[in-house]
Chain A
Amino acid sequence: MQPQVIAHSLAYLTLAAGMTIYVSVAGIVLGMGLGFAVCLARVSGNPVLTRAGAFYVSFFRGVPVLVQLLFIYYFLAEFGIDVPAMAAAIGGLGLASGAFQAEILRGALNAVPRGQAEAATAVGFSRIDIWRRILLPQALRISVPPLINEFTLLLKASSLVSVVGIAELTRVSMNIASSTYRPLEAYAGAGLFYLAINLCLAGLGILAERRLSAGSAR
């Protein structure tokens, strides 16, 4: 072991960690938008929308993220759509994450007792108010732990975008490994960075959970 290899390339690794965080956060945000839309489609009651949502979830959960990334990056080029590497990376992560987030949200919505929405209808809440004041606040609170779990998985899946040529942590540690001939140290360094980011995410999750459950008497 030569830990100084990690120390020497620390600046390089930190920069790469920034790229990893950027790609992951963009993927999470895109996934959130898509997940919310797909979840709404699945609970809308419209048979076409429900089917379409179910198909989206089944496809993007069933196909490995690596295949999805290659699909977007190489397959679409076949039709003359040249997707930049960064867009392919964020798109691939976001599309996959959207399927998982949609299911988490749907599960959380189902966990809100049916009687509450009925009671709100009975006292004259409009549909939008029921969503805004009854369903969403509770669903969000329930879904925080599984969402954080999904985010840590996405952060780790972001190591795959190295295959479309994004210089994130894994790609950079590969470069360090091949230029210093010390793969053990290079990958251990990258692993430490991932671990640190994930621990921060877990901490944020605990904070969010405490914040969101502040209003509930439990």
Chain B
Amino acid sequence: MSFEVLWRYAPSLLSGFAVTILCWLGGSALGLAVGFAIALLYRLPFAPLRWLLRVYIEILRGTPFLVQLFLLYSGGPFIGLRLEATTAGVLGLGLYSSAYFAEAFRAGFSAVPRGQIEAATSIGMNSFDILWRIALPTMLVATLPAIVNLLIVLSKETVILSIITVPELMYQMQTMAAETFTAFNAIFAMAIFYWLLVETVSRLGYRLERRVTAYLSPEARAS
């Protein structure tokens, strides 16, 4: 194990790390936005729309992310969708995660007690206010643990983008391994690196979660 090679390749590895973080943030933001829109549309009393959304969710959840990426990146040009690798990666990550986020938000909406909605209606709030002031805050707190969990899973999912040549960390590591014949160093460093990254993200996530849901804990309720 020589650190000299890792040191020499530090600039490309750092740029790879930046791309990993950017893809993760971009994909998550897109996924959260689309997922939220789907969860809102799902509440409309219009059955055919709900079936369509269900099909969308089942297809994205039931097929591997790698296959979806291939479909988007190498299948896309056949229907006039010519994307750069990184764009395809972020778009793919966003669409894939949107199905999971939508399900999380949907579950969150159903966790809002019926009585609260009924109470809000009876004191004359309109449906937008009910959504904005009653349903949304409760729903967001209820879904936060699931959202944090999904974000952690997504941070690991970015590794797959290397297969369609997005220049993220895994890709840079493999390039380094191929150029210097140091597969040993590269894979070892990758395992440690991603482990630290995911551990950090999950610790931060749990802290955020505990902070936001603090008022739900038994001590807070008693006081």
Residues of A at under 8 Å CB distance from B?
A: 58-59, 61-68, 70-71, 74-75, 78, 152, 156-160, 162-163, 169-170, 173-174, 177, 182-184, 187-188, 190-191, 194-195, 198-199
Contacts and interface: CB of A to CB of B under 8 A. Distances in A.
A194 B65 CA distance: 11
B191 A187 contact: no
B-side interface mostly:
helix
Contacts of A159: 64-67
A78 B67 CA distance: 31
Nearest to A156: B64
A75 B186 CA distance: 9
Contacts of A75: 183-184, 187-188
B156 A64 contact: yes
A188 B184 contact: no
A81 B217 CA distance: 51
A183 B187 contact: no
A174 B70 contact: yes
A64 B67 contact: no
Among A170, A184, A190, the most chain B Cβ lie within 10 Å of the Cβ of A184
A96 B136 CA distance: 36
A67 B194 contact: yes
A191 B160 contact: no
8 contacts: A66-B159, A162-B66, A173-B67, A173-B70, A184-B78, A191-B59, A194-B63, A195-B62
A177 B79 CA distance: 15
Interface string B99-127: 00000000000000000000000000000
Given A58-B199, A63-B195, A66-B159, A194 B62 contact: yes
B71 interface: yes
A62 B195 contact: yes
Contacts of B61: 152
B198 interface: yes
A174 B164 CA distance: 12
